[in-house]
Structure 1
Amino acid sequence: MPTFPIPSIIVVVTALSVGSLLLFYRPLTDSSAWRATVTPLASIMGSGFLVCAPLLYANVGNYAVFAMAGLLALAYAVGSVVRFNIRYGEDIFEKHAPEDSCRDEHKAHVGHWNAACRVKVDEAADVLEKISHYALAGAYCVSVSYYLQLLASFALQPLSLTSAWIGKTLVTLILAGIGIIGTSRGLKGIEKVERIVVGFNLAMIAALVTGLVYHNAAHLTEGTWQLGQMPLPKDKFHILRILMGLLIVVQGFETSRFLGAEHSKEERIRTMRQAQLISAGIYLVFIAMMAVIMNGVSGAAQDGITAIVTLSGAVAPILPALITITAIGSQFSAATADDAGCSGLMEAIMTKRVPAKYAYLLVSSLAIALTWLTDVYQIISYASRAFALFYALQCVVALLVMRSSRAVEFSRRKAVMFGSLAAVCALVTLFGIPAG
């Protein structure tokens, strides 16, 4: 194999180059299209990239790339439903503007609050759209706990602090801080930090993938690239249920639905599609390139929730530290964004029943309860099932929109597709199980 410093140099140069481009190249950072793309892209890649390879290879062996392709195909199909609802549904749902839509708050809070407040219940599609907001608020509560449990796992792993109560205590303290800050000052001030973290996270992903390409090329050149036997368990339905519980790793594209105050319909539809295609390409290359590494390890080194940290050391010695730092930052920014979005929905849903400033405390309290009732593997499954419920409702909403909108002709093919996707998402909600 090539000498030790070369892959580290490749990784560092890639990370610095991509990070500098994403953070400081003004034509890109000022581009509306780029901002509309990077929001769903960061949501899709944020946490799933950290956990997908160990969990997939531990459960389906060398079929991991095909399992990921299936998850991505399902996510893209559901994304097409969300795009359909953006194009044709919003004109039906959003019958009146909220009274106070321009506030000094986190953009996720304002975006979700606006979308929820605009829905005036007149028809079946409106009712179901409103119900889907309740489902999404619940999914966000689960995902906030998921992101922060993942953060705790990565933060405590270098310190060898594996006790569950230590991680849960850390998550509780972070959630309490988010709740207090959100209640007293809002989370808008965190947006700038989030933009920086997203840049570093995407740079880390580019560095890891580039390092993996080099690592695989080096093995191929020396004739040492080979895959061992990683047989599938006999219970295929059990495997399918585990894959259902991993839908969260490709979730996040629906954020485009709530960017209407900043981006036009066409821009959101186009950039959401781009984000899904870009993330799909990265995921498939990443999972395929990880095969040679995953085949060389076993046990906890292969399937631990933070296994990517140890595994990345085979690519370049600097990667474990780089991944740990970016994992902590990316999970915190993802948690605050979902917390803000959830509080925006909660504020709109519970108008006149819970004062707006207490929405953050409510979300944090629910996430704390979930944290102490679950472990990180369970919360991944619950988050997948919660978002699958939202997607199932959106599929039925799309059917109702197609029936009632004059702007779209009824299509039997689309009706079958929307109905089938609703059924699949409902099955994920009912039968998804933890991968651990």
Structure 2
Amino acid sequence: MGSSGRRQSRRAVVVATVTPLASILGSGLLIIVPVLERTLGALAVFGAVAICAVAWLIGTVIRHNVLVVEPLKGAGSLDRATLLLGRIADATIVVAYIISVALYLRIMAQYLVRFFASSAPDFLEPLIACVAVALIVALGILRGFRGLERLDRVSVVAVLLLTFVLGAVLLFHDGSSLVGGDLTMPPVPRMNPLEILLVLGGIVITVQGFETVRYLGDQYDAVARVRASRVAQIISAFIYIGFVAVATPVMGLGTPAGADSTLLDITTRIAPWLALPLVLSAVLSQFSAAIADTAAADGNLRGLSRWFHGPRPYLISGAAAIAIAATVPTFTIVAVASRAFAAYYAIEAVIAMRTSNGFARKSFYAVLALLLVAIALFALPAS
């Protein structure tokens, strides 16, 4: 490959990285700190490391299926059982995407309400989320989402910029506290190890997004998508672990401020001038992620059956998302969405096991599938 070809290949990887990275960072940074605070306190960074490590292992499943399963399917070489598993996975990811749409827009509403109307009635958050779902569904039916592809790029740039600035502010605060001798760490909550593992399993959604490379086959070849998946996971892991590390000393747990419900709580205490940019970033990233998952659910539904045509996929997924957003608390939606994605990843792991060679590799995928089934069945919301 000449230098021009290598440059084009690198550019394809960079551009392809935007979609999974935007999806991974979409809601994760907004919810992972308060969840880990309530679960692990001073040990929060170890939770972030564990979550990112599990995400990387799951990522190997998706990358195997891009490189191995897709060509086999294209050549008509997959057996009927594996094809059926693929259909079940496609149906499962639709459910996961619908739940995640409700989650994204509840998070968006939570940040808007907490910033602009902190004493608002309880129904305002679900109302805003439901209106946003209806708006997205109407947009999809009337115009489609073409022309909104750049929203992902704007969203990921905004999130990365805000994360860098907020992380730097938190690091400076931590350093100043350390020099002044008043650096304190939050207490470690009293939870048994099994409960901690189940709560950590309930926030798999925070690192979800690397599987989106499965649906970029019309734009990028398999090698570019696999590399993009790896790059997105590496970048997001560094961001998550580093951000949680600098945020831990300023957690409200164990102080008069109390446990934080959102990242906005920490930001308001430490850098109130960043509160509005954080809210704007939350609105942009969550709305963008909700549009992406609505479009993905629509595409998968149409692929499942000819019955899903015209506006039906939008109306069905929209109605389900509204029902969830209107009735289920945010942290519960986090756990339910994590369960749905864990179920999808478990099926993909079984597919990888069936299409891989060697006892060690097959055993790895089998064990990972069992772990994901356990998360799908038993994951808990943060209390």
Range into which the TM-score falls when normalised by the shorter chain: over 0.9
Change (3 A) 1:368 1:290: same
The corresponding residue for 1:144 is 101
Return the alpha-carbon distance in structure 1 between the equivalents of residues 175 and 152 of structure 2: 34
Supply the AA of the counterpart residue of 1:390.
Answer: Y
Supply the AA of the counterpart residue of 1:198.
Answer: V
Shift of 1:241: 1.5
Change (3 A) 1:178 1:95: farther
Shift of 1:191: 2.3
The corresponding residue for 1:428 is 375
Return the alpha-carbon distance in structure 2 between the equivalents of residues 92 and 373 of structure 1: 42
Return the alpha-carbon distance in structure 1 between the equivalents of residues 253 and 339 of structure 2: 32
Does the 8 Å CA contact 1:183/1:358 hold for their aligned counterparts? no
Supply the AA of the counterpart residue of 1:417.
Answer: F
Deviations 1:70-128 (A, max 9, x none): 111111000011101111110112348xxxxxxxxxxxxxxxxxxxxxxx985222111
Return the alpha-carbon distance in structure 2 between the equivalents of residues 294 and 301 of structure 1: 9
Does the 8 Å CA contact 1:204/1:323 hold for their aligned counterparts? yes
Is 1:176 the counterpart of 2:134? The answer is yes
Among candidates 304, 319, 340, match of residue 365 of structure 1: 319
Shift of 1:192: 2.8
Shift of 1:200: 1.2
Number of equivalences:
375
> SS state of the match for residue 217, structure 2?
coil
Does the 8 Å CA contact 1:309/1:319 hold for their aligned counterparts? no
Among candidates 325, 329, 345, match of residue 284 of structure 2: 329
The corresponding residue for 1:225 is 183
Is 1:185 the counterpart of 2:143? The answer is yes
Is 1:253 the counterpart of 2:210? The answer is yes
CA RMSD of aligned residues (A): 2.1
Is 1:242 the counterpart of 2:242? The answer is no
Shift of 1:213: 2.1
Supply the AA of the counterpart residue of 1:355.
Answer: H
Shift of 1:234: 4.2
The corresponding residue for 1:77 is 57
Does the 8 Å CA contact 1:86/1:269 hold for their aligned counterparts? yes
Is 1:39 the counterpart of 2:31? The answer is no
The corresponding residue for 2:39 is 59
Does the 8 Å CA contact 1:136/1:390 hold for their aligned counterparts? yes
Does the 8 Å CA contact 2:202/2:379 hold for their aligned counterparts? yes
Return the alpha-carbon distance in structure 2 between the equivalents of residues 151 and 234 of structure 1: 29
Change (3 A) 1:166 1:421: same
Shift of 1:310: 2.4
After TM superposition, the structure 1 = structure 2 runs for residues 3-402 of structure 1, keeping only pairs within 5 Å, are 31-95=11-75, 122-158=79-115, 159-227=117-185, 230-294=187-251, 298=255, 301-304=258-261, 306=262, 308-351=263-306, 353-402=307-356
Change (3 A) 1:421 1:300: farther
Shift of 1:297: 5.5
Supply the AA of the counterpart residue of 2:12.
Answer: S
Shift of 1:36: 1.0
Give percent identity, aligned residues only.
32
Return the alpha-carbon distance in structure 2 between the equivalents of residues 248 and 383 of structure 1: 6
Change (3 A) 1:32 1:315: farther
**Structure 2: stretches of 5+ with no match in the other structure:** 1-6
> How does the TM-score come out when normalised to structure 1?
0.81
Does the 8 Å CA contact 1:144/1:339 hold for their aligned counterparts? yes
Does the 8 Å CA contact 2:126/2:327 hold for their aligned counterparts? no
> SS state of the match for residue 148, structure 2?
helix
Moved more, 186-195 or 279-288: 186-195
Supply the AA of the counterpart residue of 1:384.
Answer: S
Supply the AA of the counterpart residue of 1:149.
Answer: R
Shift of 1:67: 1.3
Does the 8 Å CA contact 1:156/1:167 hold for their aligned counterparts? yes
**Structure 1: stretches of 5+ with no match in the other structure:** 1-26, 97-119, 403-409
Supply the AA of the counterpart residue of 2:303.
Answer: A
Does the 8 Å CA contact 2:294/2:317 hold for their aligned counterparts? yes
Shift of 1:162: 4.4
Return the alpha-carbon distance in structure 2 between the equivalents of residues 373 and 295 of structure 1: 28
Return the alpha-carbon distance in structure 1 between the equivalents of residues 217 and 255 of structure 2: 47
Shift of 1:345: 0.3
Return the alpha-carbon distance in structure 2 between the equivalents of residues 201 and 287 of structure 1: 15
Return the alpha-carbon distance in structure 2 between the equivalents of residues 275 and 344 of structure 1: 23
Return the alpha-carbon distance in structure 2 between the equivalents of residues 263 and 299 of structure 1: 51
The corresponding residue for 1:109 is none
Is 1:412 the counterpart of 2:359? The answer is yes
Supply the AA of the counterpart residue of 2:36.
Answer: L
Change (3 A) 1:161 1:126: farther
Shift of 1:358: 2.5
Does the 8 Å CA contact 1:244/1:428 hold for their aligned counterparts? yes
> SS state of the match for residue 290, structure 1?
helix
Deviations 1:157-176 (A, max 9, x none): 12115433221111111111
Change (3 A) 1:371 1:349: same
